[in-house]
Every structure is written in structure tokens, then in C-alpha cells.
Structure 1
Amino acid sequence: MNVNHFLLAGTFWTATSHIITAVIGSGVLSLAWSIGQLGWVAGPTIMVLFALVNLYTSTLLSQCYRAGDPVTGQRNYTYMEAVKANLGGRKVMLCGIIQYLNLFGVAIGYTIAASVSMMAIKRSNCFHASGGKNPCHMSSNGYMITFGIIEIIFSQIPDFDQVWWLSIVAAIMSFTYSTVGLGLGIGKVAENASFKGSLTGISIGTVTTAGTVTSTQKLWRSLQALGAIAFAYSYSAILIEIQDTVKSPPAEHKTIKKANLFSIIVTTVFYLLCGCMGYAAFGDLAPGNLLTGFGFYNPYWLLDIANVAIVVHLVGAYQVYCQPLFAFVEKWSAKKWAKNDFVTAEYEIPIPFCGVYQLNIFRLIWRTIFVMLTTLIAMLMPFFNDVVGILGAMGFWPLTVYFPIEMYMSQKKIVKGTTEWFGLQILSVTCFFITVAAGVGSVAGVVLDLKTYKPFKTTY
């Protein structure tokens, strides 16, 4: 990231809003479903454990922002640079592939989630107009294309720290829809006059929209729920970029440590409330996406506000996640074709009331193709829960656990065989098995969905 570090103005609050924007994404919407698979005992316990692991490894990662000394060492501006400085060699390439595949996947997941919310607005108004008589089935394709067009426009904002206002708007939106989801869950529990759900989660033999739950499916669904919870907490991949916007003194890692703690406490409390109230309201039939699966008898305008907030938030979050990927490709291309005007030339275009816009032809074309590709894949595979589970599994162990632990051990020169070394290795291996299990469960979910699905023909 090309930033003049004398001009950095990031504080505890801007870092916190960046983290909360990255964390409270569409992941919150599948938490009631996740707790529904795991039950009242395992569900909340696993959520708290994921939060603690994230908090711990993010703190380790934040100390790797500077190579060598955490206060005066050479800065690493991206996650990959931190891996290069601390681990070097092959691991940089491995990290790059995983990180950028994960960011690419998140862009697909957000496109699906945004289109589902846009359709929910249309459907709730259609239900309201017909008094619930019309099933209001519709295709998601038009909504995905609309979201894609919006993202093509926003993706032309050149640098990560130029979107600070987007991050704050998105943070407000995420609280809006999470609060509405929570409020509607509480309202539904009050209406039922009881807490639904069981200690062990969804029962075998329950009839869901995907068919009757068998014992094998119960296992796959429980594993998929792990992936969905992991996805709800995934933000390690962009933590270094967020830290790179923070001013010093005090040392950046101290500011980020506080921002991490505050952000994770806020999001975990929120997640537990949203997930538990959603499960208490719907029990075994908790929908895969809380706000779009709600009964349409609630105040429909409130659901509309929440779904609009989701779409606005996802427009912002899509950029927060994709900017590091955009920057990487553009930096690499500029180095490879340094004398090529198509790649490097900037053209100044004056925009009334906004100053001058730097137009780069390569940036315009490559970012547009990227957004079009994510939209196309989302249209081919619009399975919100499965995609969320796969993404959570794919990013959790390598990016949130393995690399931060390896970098920290390298930087602090932790000796093999010591108690601290054993503790960190046990944590890493445990998380590796969780990732594999969640990945297997989510892939099994995709296979199940593909049996009944025709590409580009999804209707809700």
C-alpha cells in the first residue's frame, strides 16, 4: 500500500470501525442456523471459543506488522509482506494463493447475500400486497447483476484508506440489520411465549426445505455450522492493512490490540444474541439466512429497512475485502510492465466538487472483469450457507491461525520443545482439524444442493 506515513491519521476508533465492518458481515445472518445444527450447549460454546482463538491469534499477528522490533522495525504494509519478512520463501507463495482465493470467495459470498436481501425486499412487498396469497417466486439473476454493476463503480476508488467513510457507513448498517434481526427474534420468542430449540440441535427426521434430515446429514450440517461460525469471525487477512492506517506513537500494535479486544467483545455479544434469539424463535427450522427466512407477518417495512442495510453494508464490505487483492495485482503488473502506458499511465479527469480523479486504463478494465467474474460464479452457485461454510473453512486455519502463529514464533525466536512452543502447536493442529471437518461438511452440502439445482434457474 502506497501511503505517506507522516500523514497517517488512523486511531483506535477508525481501526475499530474497520474491524467491526470486516467482522460483522453477512456471517451474522447464518448464526441462528448454525446454533440450530449444534444445539443450545455446543452452539454458543463454539462461538465463544472461535472468538477467543481469533482474539489471541490477531494479537500475535498485530505484533508482526513491523519486522524485528514491534515499535521501530521495518513496516510490512500487507499480510503477505509480513509473511515474507518473518517466514520467507515458499510460504509467501502459499499464503498469497490462500489469501487471495479467500478474498475472491468472499466477493462471491457477498454477491449471493446481497441478491438474496434485494429479493427479500421485493418478496416481502409482494406478500404484503397479495395478503400472503401469492408465493412470489422470483429469479436471483437480475439482482446479482445489479449488485455487480454497483461494485464495478465503487471498485474504481483507488486506495484502501480513501474509503474510510465507506467503512463507517458500513459499520452503522451492520448494527442496523443485526439489531433488527435480534429485535424480530425477541418479538417472535415473546409471541411463541417459549424458547424453541434443544440441547443437541436439529433432530434426525426433521423435515426441512432441503428434505428430511438423516443421521449422516446431521453430521454434515453440524460440520458446516463450524465453517459458518468461522466465516462470521474471519478478518485476519486484512488486519495488517487496517493496522497500516494507524498513526504512531503509541506503537501501532498497542492501538490494534485494544481495537481487536473491543471489536471482538462487541461482535461476540452481538453474535450470541442474534444467533441464540434466532434459534429460540425458530427452533429446528431456523432459516439459513435469518432476515430473508423470517415469516412475512412481521412489520414488513422493518424487514425492508434491515435488508436495505445489508445491501448497503455489503457494497462497502465487498470493497474493504477486495481492495488488497486489487492493489496486489496492480502493483505486480506495474513492476512487470513498468514501461507500458496501458498499465502505468494515469490520466487526470477533473470531477466537479470532488477534485481530480486519476484514471488508469488497466485498473478500470481489470477491476471490472474481476467483479463480472464474481457475479457470474455467484449466479452459477447461489447457495448462501454452503458457500459461507466453505469460505469459513478455507480461510480459518491458514490465515487466522497457522501463519500468525508461525510468524510470531519466528519473530520472538521461540525455541522448539519449550512449553510455549507446544502450546502454540497444539492450538494450530486443533484448528487444522476443525478447518478440514468444516470444509468436508460444506462440500457435502454443495453436493446435496447440486442434485436439485439447475444453473441460472434459481428461484426463491
Structure 2
Amino acid sequence: MELPNMNIFIEESLDRAHYDQDRKNSEDDARIERTGTVLTATAHIITGVIGSGVLSLAWAIAQLGWIAGPATLLAFALITWFCSTLLADCYRSPDPINGKRNHTYMAAVKANLGGVKVHLCGLAQYLMLIGVTIAYTITSAISMVAVRRSNCFHKNGPHAKCNDSPNSYMIIFACIQLVLSQIPNFHNIWGLSIIAAIMSFAYSFIGLGLSIARIAENGVGRTSLTGVTIGVDVSASDKVWRVFQSLGNIASAFTYSMVLIEIQDTLKSSPPENKVMKKSSLIGVIITTIFYMLCGVCGYAAFGNNAPGNMLTGFGFYNPYWLVDIGNICIAIHLIGAYQVFSQPIFGFVESWSRWKWPGNSILTSEHSISIPFFGAYRLSFFRLACRTSYIALTTFIAMIFPFFNDFVGLVGGISFWPLTVYFPVEMYVKQAKIPRFSSSWFWLHVMSFVCLLASLLAAVGSLQGLSHDFGNYHPFKNT
């Protein structure tokens, strides 16, 4: 398939078949009127960024220690924020305020870089989105298993056999997603994002509060400036692998660039979208960094070098069991919404490509109006139903085969952080701003990019080693 032809569908509206044709349109690209604001964009960002990975940060800091741990958190936060400002300016091209809109990340890369980089961007972006939805399926199930085990331990004692399989909970999660996935497009999920963002604050506060309570009761755990101790906690090789993996966990905790352009495409055109997006990114990154720092540092102080991979599901806390249960339920609710934030761009891409590939096929474009009590009329598309159901079934099946939270999160973060968060935003900004080659700005931007590439490679290697170790002791579809 030739590149110019392939990009026709990239330029199509992801919501072309889903808006009211009689509505007066005030946009400059013949799309439905955008209503997004700083609030909705920030909610989308927080929903995408503050994931359950926040609960693994205590473990990550335990591997790095008091010096490198917080420093790495701050470094990734600054890099994510800075690169998000570069990417926000690429929503319109060639001028960041008056140029033509780029509705997707791939469209922005096409407009600014073109060539084979469009395909590489698409590969990285959609692999990342798929990986995140799989990780969220895993984590939601782990959280619900933790609720069941917590109540079992409370009823039968801490030494009771309370093993349970996460597979049934993955199926329940998938059934919920089957319903929510019929929301037509990204523009219609802002309410879901706000609810999910509230849930992320809730379980983050619970994890933070429980850590502080543990410190008040037992004092600070066994910690060190350099993290877990070789010869005491781990072997030298395990220390290296864990450090690499922790880089991936922290990187994935800040990643949202793969949906930034799609979020920006929901914003009203006045004030300029890039200014609103930069403000939303700043607010979102500041809020998440504060939460991450508090949860990671307090979690490490509470558990020391024995910090679990997930503070709530790894049974770092047993009591009060009802509060731990609430935290895990909040995680599951948050991930229900977050799954849609990361899957909607995939749905839009596949459906737009299908309409471009087979323009005369009525199955792809026909919709049937049905009345839903309390919601009004809904336009049902059988193609959308079949396509999205198939995707959810596939990600759920993969999640059942690879239910390894920490290593999977680290692998996804390691693979995707550099290309999507750093490389493409830097290259597009250099091209759009016409920064001279080998100038000081050009040099330092590429130094940052190279350092992030090394961090991503190390994180991916560490997570692959962890997955290899996990597979050696795992039997698919067995009880945990």
C-alpha cells in the first residue's frame, strides 16, 4: 500500500458517521462543534496518566533508593511535560495557531515529517495503546481478586488459603467494556473520564493515607540511599534487572502522549488549542507528580526495601480491610474509564480505515436508531459492535495468558516512552520551528532524546527478563 493513499483515511473524521447532520457547524474543518475545555482535557490527562501504576512506585523507588528514586520521578515528569508542550504545537501545521488541524498523532507526524516515520509512529502508538488496554484488564482483575482475598483473610484468618483466579474478573471487566465501547467516539467520553479521574484520586489518597498510618505505627521501614541491598535483599544481577524494570514502571506512569493529539482535538478553537492543551498538560503533570512523589516516597518509607509491587493488591496492607477494599474497587472503576480513553483511538483508526478501504459497503456506514430508556435515541452500528467486541475479546484473552502486572507495565512503558513521548515530538518541533541543524537548541533536544532512548532500552530489557522469569513459574488459566 502506497504511503500517500494510506494517509487518506488518517485525515478522515473519526466521528464522521456519529454527529447530527442538522446541527449548525462552527468549526473550520467541517466537524462537529468542539466543546472541550481545560477541565475536560485535564480530566482526560489525569485519567490517562494516573493509572494503577502509581501503586507500584513504592516498589520502583525501593529499587533505586532515596536519591535516584525521587530524582528519576522528577526527571520523567519534566521530560513528559516539556515534550507535551512540543507536541501540542504540532496539532496544527505548519502554524501552531492558524495552521491546518491534525486530528490524530499519525496525522501530525505525516504533516510534519512524512515518509516512513508515519508508519513507525502508527506502529508505536497503536502497540502502546493495545499494551495499555491489556495492562488495564490485568490490573482491574488483580484488584477485584484482592477484594475477595481481603475478605477471605478477614473472615478465616491471615493463614487461610484464599487463592482465586483473576480470569473470571477479566471476563466481567470485558463485559462492562463491551457496553461502554459502543460510545461512538472520543468526544463523548468526557463524563467517563471525570469519574475515572475522581477514582484515581480516591485510591491514591487511600494508598497514601495507609502508608502514613503504617509509618506512624511502626516507624520508617528498612531503607537506604541506593535502594535494595545486594547480598541482603537481592543478588547483584537481580538488582540490575530490577533497576532497569523500575525505569520502565516510572516511564509508563507518566505516558499519555499517544492520546494527547486526540485529546487536543476535542478542545474549542478559542482560545487557541495549543495554549489550552499546554495549560492542561501543566496542571495534569503537576497534580500527578505530587501524587506520585507522595505515594512513592511514603510507600517506600512505610515498607522499606520490601515494598510490594502493588501496595493495595500485593497485600502490603491488610487492615482496615474495608478501606483497602474501597481502594481496590476505586482502581477497578478508574480502569473501566481509562480503558476507553486508550481504546477509542484504536476503534476510530480501524473504523476510519475500513470506511476508506471499502467506501461503498453499507455494512460499515449504516446505523439503526434505537430508543434506550433514560438515554434517548442511540444510533447502533453492527460493524462497530462486531469490531469493538472482537478487540475486547482479544485483549482479554491476551491478559489471561500474561497476567504479570509489574513486568508488563514496565515493558509497555519501556518500549513506548521514547518514540511517542520524546522522539516524534522533538523531531516535529525541530521541523516546524525550523531549528538550524547543530544549533544549541538542536543539540540539547537531541541529547535529551538520546538519553531517553537509553532509558527506554534498559527498561525494556529489564522487563523482558522479568517476564521470562515469570513464565518459568506460570501455568496459564490456573488459580493464583
Worse overlay, 61-70 or 131-140: 131-140
Counterpart of 1:44, as a letter, is: P
Q: Closer, same or farther in 2 for the Cα pair 1:5/1:179, shift >3 Å?
A: farther
Q: Closer, same or farther in 2 for the Cα pair 1:458/1:425, shift >3 Å?
A: farther
User: Is 1:144–1:379's contact at 8 Å kept on the other side of the alignment?
Assistant: yes
Deviations 1:35-69 (A, max 9, x none): 01111110000000000000100000000000111
User: Is 2:220–2:303's contact at 8 Å kept on the other side of the alignment?
Assistant: no
How far the C-alpha of 1:449 sits from its partner, in A, is 0.9
Q: Which of 52, 56, 63 lines up with 2:89 in the alignment?
A: 63
Deviations 1:317-361 (A, max 9, x none): 000000001000000001111111222211111222212111111
1:382-397 map, 5 Å: 382-397=403-418
Deviations 1:353-389 (A, max 9, x none): 2121111111111111111111111110100000000
How far the C-alpha of 1:308 sits from its partner, in A, is 0.7
Counterpart of 2:191, as a letter, is: W
User: Is 2:113–2:431's contact at 8 Å kept on the other side of the alignment?
Assistant: yes
Worse overlay, 190-199 or 369-378: 190-199
**How many equivalent pairs are there?**
454
What does residue 38 of structure 1 align with?
Answer: 64
What does residue 438 of structure 1 align with?
Answer: 459
Counterpart of 2:333, as a letter, is: V
Q: Closer, same or farther in 2 for the Cα pair 1:458/1:219, shift >3 Å?
A: farther
Counterpart of 1:427, as a letter, is: M
Distance, in Å, in 1 between the alignment partners of 2:50 and 2:81 is 15
Distance, in Å, in 2 between the alignment partners of 1:354 and 1:222 is 49
What does residue 348 of structure 1 align with?
Answer: 369
Give the secondary structure class of the aligned counterpart of 2:189.
helix
Distance, in Å, in 2 between the alignment partners of 1:296 and 1:125 is 13
What does residue 2 of structure 1 align with?
Answer: 15
What does residue 158 of structure 2 align with?
Answer: 132
Distance, in Å, in 2 between the alignment partners of 1:234 and 1:5 is 33
Counterpart of 1:416, as a letter, is: R
What does residue 292 of structure 2 align with?
Answer: 271
Deviations 1:222-247 (A, max 9, x none): 00000000000010000111111111
Give the secondary structure class of the aligned counterpart of 1:358.
strand
Worse overlay, 326-335 or 253-262: 253-262
Deviations 1:105-145 (A, max 9, x none): 00110011000000011011111111324131111111111
Distance, in Å, in 2 between the alignment partners of 1:133 and 1:441 is 33
RMSD: 1.2
User: Is 1:33–1:288's contact at 8 Å kept on the other side of the alignment?
Assistant: yes
TM value normalised by structure 2? 0.93
Counterpart of 1:49, as a letter, is: A
Give the secondary structure class of the aligned counterpart of 1:349.
strand
What does residue 332 of structure 2 align with?
Answer: 311
Counterpart of 2:268, as a letter, is: K
How far the C-alpha of 1:205 sits from its partner, in A, is 3.5
Counterpart of 1:279, as a letter, is: Y
User: Is 2:89–2:429's contact at 8 Å kept on the other side of the alignment?
Assistant: yes
How far the C-alpha of 1:187 sits from its partner, in A, is 0.7
Distance, in Å, in 1 between the alignment partners of 2:105 and 2:313 is 35
1:380-419 map, 5 Å: 380-419=401-440
Give the secondary structure class of the aligned counterpart of 1:185.
helix
Q: Closer, same or farther in 2 for the Cα pair 1:53/1:130, shift >3 Å?
A: same
1:423 aligns with 2:436: no
Q: Closer, same or farther in 2 for the Cα pair 1:296/1:410, shift >3 Å?
A: closer
What does residue 48 of structure 2 align with?
Answer: 22
How far the C-alpha of 1:295 sits from its partner, in A, is 4.2
Q: Which of 220, 237, 246 lines up with 1:194 in the alignment?
A: 220
Deviations 1:180-231 (A, max 9, x none): 0000010111111234311111112446xxxxx2211110000000000000
What does residue 13 of structure 1 align with?
Answer: 39
Gaps of 5+ in 2: 1-13, 17-24, 28-32
Counterpart of 1:47, as a letter, is: L
Worse overlay, 266-275 or 341-350: 341-350
What does residue 183 of structure 2 align with?
Answer: 157
Q: Which of 365, 372, 378 lines up with 2:399 in the alignment?
A: 378
Distance, in Å, in 2 between the alignment partners of 1:5 and 1:80 is 25
User: Is 1:127–1:296's contact at 8 Å kept on the other side of the alignment?
Assistant: no
User: Is 2:210–2:317's contact at 8 Å kept on the other side of the alignment?
Assistant: no
Q: Which of 164, 185, 188 lines up with 2:211 in the alignment?
A: 185
User: Is 1:206–1:284's contact at 8 Å kept on the other side of the alignment?
Assistant: no
Q: Which of 243, 246, 257 lines up with 2:264 in the alignment?
A: 243
1:222 aligns with 2:243: yes
How far the C-alpha of 1:458 sits from its partner, in A, is 4.6
Give the secondary structure class of the aligned counterpart of 1:400.
helix
1:170 aligns with 2:196: yes
TM value normalised by structure 1? 0.97
How far the C-alpha of 1:414 sits from its partner, in A, is 1.1
Distance, in Å, in 2 between the alignment partners of 1:392 and 1:154 is 26
The structure 1 segments of at least 4 consecutive aligned residues displaced by more than 4 Å after TM superposition are: none
Give the secondary structure class of the aligned counterpart of 1:161.
helix
User: Is 1:237–1:399's contact at 8 Å kept on the other side of the alignment?
Assistant: yes
Distance, in Å, in 1 between the alignment partners of 2:141 and 2:15 is 34
User: Is 2:215–2:302's contact at 8 Å kept on the other side of the alignment?
Assistant: yes
User: Is 1:382–1:458's contact at 8 Å kept on the other side of the alignment?
Assistant: no
What does residue 385 of structure 2 align with?
Answer: 364
Counterpart of 2:456, as a letter, is: T
Q: Closer, same or farther in 2 for the Cα pair 1:84/1:53, shift >3 Å?
A: same
Distance, in Å, in 1 between the alignment partners of 2:80 and 2:26 is 28
What does residue 210 of structure 1 align with?
Answer: none
How far the C-alpha of 1:152 sits from its partner, in A, is 1.3
Distance, in Å, in 2 between the alignment partners of 1:262 and 1:14 is 12
What does residue 78 of structure 1 align with?
Answer: 104
Q: Closer, same or farther in 2 for the Cα pair 1:301/1:439, shift >3 Å?
A: same
Worse overlay, 428-437 or 294-303: 294-303
Give the secondary structure class of the aligned counterpart of 1:248.
coil
Gaps of 5+ in 1: 208-212
